[in-house]
Amino acid sequence: MLYWAVVCLVIAIIAGVLGFGGIAGTAAGIAKILFFIFLILLVISLVANAMRGKGPKI
């Protein structure tokens, strides 16, 4: 999911440079939403692993 957030961010940057304001704004909004969903899932995963008593694998 983080990959797709970065892809949308790159699309937004390219669209912004080329002058497509509407597309750039939409892509940036999608990237922001995907990034926050990724962060929420990461926190849930870390909490679930901590509740099971497993530490992070190194």
Radius of gyration (C-alpha) of the chain in whole angstroms: 16
Per-residue pLDDT at 40: 92
Per-run averaged pLDDT (10 residues), the chain, 58 residues: 79 83 83 89 86 71
3-class DSSP assignment, residue 8: helix
Q: Which two tokens stand for residue 17?
A: 């440079």
CB atoms within 10 A of CB 52: 8
**Which pLDDT belongs to residue 9?**
81
pTM beyond cutoff 0.75: no
Is 27 within 8 Å of 5 (Cβ atoms)? no
- pLDDT score recorded for residue 54: 64
